[in-house]
Structure 1
Amino acid sequence: MTSARFQHAVTALILINAVTLGLETSATVMAGFGPALEFVDSSLLCLFTAELALRIFAFRVRFFRDPWGVFDLVVIGISWAPSGGDLSVLRSLRVLRVLRLLSVVPSLRNVVEAMLAALPGMGSIVLLMGLMFYVSGVMATKLFGESMPEKFGTLGGSIFTLFQLMTLEGWVEDIVKPAMENHPGALLFFIPFIVISTFVVLNLFLGVIVESIQTLRETRESADAEAAQAATDAAASAAHADSQMLLSEVRALRMEISTLRAERG
């Protein structure tokens, strides 16, 4: 169940399923190969279910203690949900099976675990960004609310516009140039905001995630090193015990030989 060959086979099936689900979005392909694609999809679902049943049988309670195992169970369970009537939307959720790559590919699993581990550290950055958006939104409403009411007329509208500004989506033509028509010094507000929000705060997020990945890697390497050292110590102890037993047998054999010689003498 945990062999590399078995994992590679499961990965290949997931990739095949991803291709078939993508082909089903084409009306032309479905008109020509619709029944065949549906048969392949149903067959793959049965294979995934059998693979999941084997894992549950092999690991039993340990399977449900593994978050990735529960994730696979939920994804496969959604795929078996009825897709008729009001629940027809569940049919589109079959594509979630492709997300099983996260639990099968170790590198992807490590990235997701690192991101989840980084969530507590992101709290302070989110608070900082929220505070920055609130202060900047109030300032933008007071500065540009009268001249650009559709963008900065309300606090909520200002915060939304600033979020668009942070993404750098149409920030020159839609926001900065219209603001500079009535406020020539508007760049003194927008440029620092863009630099702080886009290049500083977002890089802080990346820094926290990268640090989490490095910490997770170091922790696993340390655990592997400890396990290898423990195995080495156990092997050394076993070898020492074997050598002591062999030495005892040699001594006993020498005593028997000495006894035999004494009896003959």
Structure 2
Amino acid sequence: MNIDNLQSRFYSLRHNRFFELFVVGVILFSALVIGAKTYDIPDNVLMIIGWLDVGITLFFLIEVSVRFIGEPQKRNFFKNAWNVFDTLIVIVSLIPVEDSELALVGRLIRIFRVLRMVSIVPELRLLLNSLLKALPQLGYVILLMFIIFYIYAAVGASFFASINATLWGDISISMLTLFRVMTFEDWTDVMYETMAVYSFSWIYYLSFIFLTTFAFLNMVIGIVVNVMEEEHAIEAREQALADGEPTIQDLSNQIKELKEILKNR
């Protein structure tokens, strides 16, 4: 079997739907194995789990090798950040550190193997990429939200510290209390406690909830959804180009060319 034939077979295997589902199943099983280690289990069962963990690591090594060999352009394999992430996770998992001072690091690396689900499932990659691309826009919203938090925390610490120092003792504690209010975690108990002294303090809480929970969080959701729609559109255009189908831009260019031809006539 020549190299080109082997590469074509591995290329077909890496894009096989059943192979992808099997890899997802192994990743889920790996997560269960990691979770099982957190329980107090007998030594013989722990030994079996250890062998299973070794088998999972070897499978991931084979799976990454299949993807690398099946890549037509080997240099492009490591241009993909997810491929680099998968390769590093697998390589570090192969290092025997269970009986050394780096045992905790080894366990953490094995926990991160669950993140390989993102690199395998395209829909999860799209969600994560959309979130990362939305971060620059979200930064301004988060900054404005922090300003609102800071102003309200300063007001709360000034007026309510004498009522309950545990919740309003200083500005940092006040910000934690406001986060509790924003997430609706027994926020009415906080409000009624201050209303016993300041009867109109409900205005303080309702205005804060309106600004943060109803306004800013909806802005965050809107930005993320908008970026996701743009990512879907980009993916659809790339898929259309890969399939040789005309895109909207191509059709628009053809219409312009026809108009120019008609004008010249």
TM-score if structure 1 supplies the norm length? 0.79
Is the 1:83–1:90 contact (alpha carbons within 8 Å) kept by the matching residues of 2? no
Are 2:218 and 1:203 aligned? yes
Equivalent residues in 2 for 1:70-85 (5 A)? 70-81=84-95, 82-85=97-100
| Counterpart contact for 1:166–1:198, Cα < 8 Å | yes
Report the AA paired with residue 94 of structure 2. Answer: W
Correspondence 1:1-265 to 2 at 5 A? 1-28=14-41, 30-31=42-43, 33-59=45-71, 60-81=74-95, 82-93=97-108, 94-173=110-189, 175-229=190-244
Counterparts of 1:213 and 1:68, CA distance in 2: 19
Distance 1:152 1:78 in 2: 46
Paired residues, number: 230
Unaligned runs of 5+ in 2: 1-13, 247-265
Give yes or no for contact 1:78–1:90 (8 Å, CA) kept in 2. no
Change (3 A) 1:31 1:177: farther
Higher helix share: 1
Alpha-carbon RMSD: 2.1
1:131 Cα offset (Å): 1.2
Q: Distance in 2 between matches of 1:36 and 1:117?
A: 43
Q: What TM-score, normalized to structure 2?
A: 0.79
Q: Deviations over 1:132-173 (max 9, x none)?
A: 111111221222123222222222222221122112222222
User: What fraction of aligned residue pairs are identical, expressed as a percent?
Assistant: 27
Counterpart Cα distance in 2 of 1:42 and 1:111: 31
2:255 — aligned with what? none
Cα 1:43–1:179, aligned 2, differ >3 Å: closer, same or farther? Answer: same
CA distance in 2, matches of 1:142, 1:149: 11
Structure 1 residues 13 and 200: alpha-carbon distance in aligned structure 2, compared to 1, 3 A threshold: same
Q: What's the counterpart of residue 237 of structure 1?
A: none
Rg (Cα) greater in structure: 1
Q: 1:69 to 1:26 in 2, by over 3 A?
A: same
- Match of 2:201, SS state, is helix
Amino acid at match of 2:204: F
Q: Is residue 72–residue 100 contact of structure 1 (8 Å, CA) maintained in 2?
A: yes
CA distance in 2, matches of 1:12, 1:114: 25
| Alpha-carbon distance in structure 2 between the residues aligned to 1:230 and 1:188 | 58
